[in-house]
A and B are shown apart, each in its own frame.
Chain A
Amino acid sequence: MKSKSIAVVGAAETTQLGVIPDLSQIQLHADAALNAMADAGLKPSDIDGLATTPEWTPNLANYLGITPAWVDGTMVGGCSFMLHVRHAAAAINEGLCSTVLITHGESGRSRVGVGPFSGNRASLEGQFEAPYGIMGPPTVFTIPVLRYMKTYGVSEEQLAMVAVVQREWAAKNPRASMKDPITVQDVLSSRMIAYPFRLLMCCLVTDGGGALILTSAQRAKDFPRKPVYILGTGEGAESWMISQMEDFTTSRAFRVSGRKAFAEAGISHKDVDHLMIYDAFAHLPLYGLEDLGFCKPGEAAGFIWERNTAPGGKLPLNTNGGGLSYMHSGMYGMYALQESVRQMRGVAPAQVPDAKISVCHGVGGMFAASGTIIFSNQAP
């Protein structure tokens, strides 16, 4: 085992997922945290590091009865938890703390115990984007795709296929919000949200949470669950203003984050058995497959169309059903991490046989930020 290795020793989602009108947002964090502590056989007093968002870390520490000696509140949107994992791994290796809890909880649908949406009209996006009628991610995250489709000749049918394949995975998952099979035609006849995106190409809006507990790989063998090791991590950032993204056909933050994670893990793409790519909208798996290097530029839509990422395909992708069909509370990154851990533990509802390496890639704040974590059930 490498001297500086980190493992996940606790992982859990909230007891319920979907519509949870009887829990406020901070209690969704706590429910997931208590489940993860039970999974790891730990009490709040055993935790000495805490990272969370969108709740404020000191508030959650007090609520959970944790006295952290290491505090992280990194908030870069839905991939914040990938960054928390990366920062926690570095902190544990540096001896800043030994046992880190990372939580997410979001009352995305029911909006219980959540402040109002607000915008700063003096910010650059408030001055130069908000006046043009943007309504959150469905009208902003989506803007690059027509340029991508024109550049590579990708059709609306191919974009729709992303949602179709992920529904096939969701059908195998009892906790998925949407399980009924859909066809390309169903996607293309669903309600138009923001051309070219139709309803079934957009993520769900649900309530839920999740939590992870990390410690050194040396300590990990003393925990009840089989450790899931972290082989490599990456993060990146580009622009919160979509109009200032360098190239609408590729994400610079994805490329930076992915390269870092693969280099640190010392693996190649053919070693990867399982892949998660944060899919708030149907185009994100296309960008992810290409920017992480699984496909050449322009080839991801064909790769998915030919069922390489579908059940039985050579690169199982978004096996929980993804943000499109499993759940999406607003900051989905935590649920992608949970599915990677389940796959590495061998307990996923749609388990990939003999999977040993899982790559989990997140996006945050539209294309503003990115985080990548590479897991394995084999000690590095």
Chain B
Amino acid sequence: MPEAKRPLPKPTPETRHFWEGTAAGELRLQRCDQCRRAYFPPRPFCPKCGSRKVSVFKASGRATLYSYVINHRPMPPFTAPYSIAVVELDEGPRMMTNIVGCPQTPEALQLDMPLQVVFEKQTDEITLPFFKPAGA
């Protein structure tokens, strides 16, 4: 059996800026130039108003914990139990991630706790964003 690997993203033309950003240590979102709304995941138009006039910007990396589960079933190469979370970025959009840098327990993972993005290089092309408790 080949060793199990984390399933890594295959960037597309519409998402490449995001993955180039994480590789450079930046969390890049997009914002509509018309209605000013920030959005995620990437696409070359605003999902709110349909405008194609959008810009990429560097997000603060700050977020809060919106919801999560703690998976207890074996899922190589992950070490169970591990959190699968949805975080709310300060800029508004939400994204899935793992919460790292703290025990994977309900006591340590409190909804609405402040979080900060951290980046972990996976391959030359892909660096994934994770979130850790702010100040940890």
Q: Which residues of A line the B interface, CB within 8 A?
A: 119, 121-122, 124, 126-135, 138-140, 142-147, 150, 191-197, 241-244, 248
Contact = CB atoms under 8 A, between A and B. Distances in A.
Interface string B15-40: 10000000000000000000000001
Nearest to A148: B67
Contacts of B84: 132-134, 139-140, 143, 194
Q: Which of A130, A132, A138 gathers the greatest number of chain B CB atoms within 10 Å?
A: A132
Given A122-B10, A132-B96, A243-B96, A194 B111 contact: no
Q: Which of A130, A142, A144, A194 gathers the greatest number of chain B CB atoms within 10 Å?
A: A194
B101 interface: no
Interface of B: 6-12, 15, 40-41, 66-73, 75, 78, 81-82, 84-86, 94-98, 106, 111, 128
Given A242-B96, A243-B94, A248-B66, A131 B71 contact: no
Contacts of B106: 195-196
Given A128-B41, A132-B84, A243-B86, A143 B9 contact: no
A152 B88 CA distance: 19
Contact of B41 (A121, A124, A144, A242): A124
B78 A128 contact: no
Contacts, number: 106
A242 B86 contact: yes
A195 B10 contact: no
B69 A194 contact: yes
Contacts of A196: 69, 106
Nearest to B14: A124
Contact of B69 (A119, A131, A142, A243): A142
B70 A126 contact: no
B5 to A, nearest CB: 10
Contacts of A197: 69
